Amino acid sequence: MIIHVVKRGEALWQIADRYNVTIEDIVNLNKLNNPDILLPGHALLIPTGRQTYTVQKGDTIWQIAQKYGVSPQNLLWENRILNPDLIYPGYVLTIPQKPKPEIDVNAFTYFLGSEAVPIVRDAGPYLTYLSPFAYLINEDGSLVSIADEAAIAEAYSQGVVPMMSLVNFTVNVAGENLAHLVLNNPDTIDTLQENIINTMREKGYQGLNIDFEYVLPEDREAYNNFLESTVNRLHEEGFFVSTSLAPKLSGEQVGLLYEAHDYPAHGRLADFVVLMTYEWGWRGGMPRAISPLNEIRRVLDYAVTVIPRDKILMGFQIYARDWKIPFQEGDEAATISVQDAINLAYEHMAEIYYDYVSQSPYFHYRDAEGNAHEVWFEDARSAQAKFDTVKEYGLRGISYWGLGYEFPQNFPLLADNFQIRKL
């Protein structure tokens, strides 16, 4: 696929003609509401089919293969050429598709019950794991259950592995005291592990994701010990264990969110980890990119020194944020889908800009009351930049937060870049 960024004055028929595709193909892939109107800066995904190259005077098979990043042997085989010296100007070569790296893809979803079924059905072909969010621990080691049965059933029908999500926090409570009580009581830990195993058997989960956040710094070793005993116990039962980790820049990083997350220990003990590389642009903070790639790379630069690369899933948020500006302390941004963000831009005819440092798109508009807004979201360019980063660092894969926010370009582009591992 090709990413085309709309220029001022361009019409959809011109873009379709340029790439020899139909207008309907572009409209359907990008879910355009009105094909007669295009916004400058809108990144469109173009389905181009097989790539071709017309031989020029002086070209050699080796030069052409190098240009497209394929082997000369594959280029010859694709075009049934026996003698590489017998190519002439004007000869149209079909460029073979490069092998796609195989990755794991996880997605969290807090849409549960029957509401989860169409969401999981649509995403299923692109997922290795599905993690309904989430089971909350109690002080006595019991669990607060969730309505995850429908999501799990649909995951199995799509060949997706259900992964149980375990947390110590709620939207309003950070959970550090709850974690302290549980992690330092061996009897409670034993009860908690029994309840985890029983729930996994009952619901059909094949693995567990432990997402303990805001753990007190003094509980770092207690958390490591809990992780080790849980991994050993669940491995004996045939389950895998992953963890979610705050985005750290070094082993010495201070702060309640970071200090108890021991990257080397999690990298050694867990089967894989999810790096929560998002929320720089959080709803209660200043407007900025939610998942800025420059910050993500700083996290990865540290992570790969202490965690095996084939154990790392890079986090990728697939939602947008709409802030009122100028920002005032206490304001909260609205969390919306990427498609909602695009619709807002078209509703207000707001030109879309792209920040190349964070590799993120954004735009401004005024609402009906005259309030100024700044919206940061994701598009095909920012998604491709993240996919390229996964390839560059040789990571295990990607973990999405969270399913249910419409981003029509994401999964087709993901499939264009990777082979999704199915277990």
pLDDT, tens digit (0-9, with 9 covering 90-100), for 180-235: 999 999 999 999 999 999 999 999 999 999 999 999 999 999 999 999 999 999 99
Beta carbons of 108 and 165 less than 8 angstroms apart: yes
The domain defined by 102-420 folds into TIM Barrel (3.20.20)
Which CATH number does the domain 2-46 belong to among 2.40.50.100, 1.20.58.740, 3.40.190.10, 3.10.350.10? 3.10.350.10
Q: Which of 154, 213, 259, 295 is catalytic?
A: 213
Count Cβ atoms within 10 A of the Cβ of residue 8 and give its class: 0-12 exposed, 13-18 middle, 19 or more buried: exposed
Assign 355 to helix, strand or coil. strand
Note the pLDDT tens digit of each residue in 272-296: 999 999 999 999 999 999 999 999 9
pLDDT classification of 124: cutoffs 50, 70, 90: very high
The whole-model pTM stands at 0.91
CB 362, CB 375: distance < 8 Å? yes
Q: Mean pLDDT in the chain?
A: 95
Domain 2-46 matches domain 51-95 at the CATH topology level? yes
- DSSP secondary structure of 128-179: SEEEES-EEE-TTS-EE----HHHHHHHHHTT-EEEEEEES--SS---HHHH
pLDDT per residue over 354-391, tens digit each?
999 999 999 999 999 999 999 999 999 999 999 999 99
**Would you kindly state where each structural domain of the chain is located, as residue ranges?**
2-46, 51-95, 102-420
β-bridge partners, 284 = none
Catalytic status, residue 259:
no
Q: Which residue do the tokens 């849980």 mark?
A: 230
pLDDT band at residue 78, thresholds of 50, 70 and 90?
Answer: confident
| 51-95 under CATH 3.30.470.10, yes or no | no
Which ranges in 240-337 belong to alpha helices (H)?
263-269, 293-306
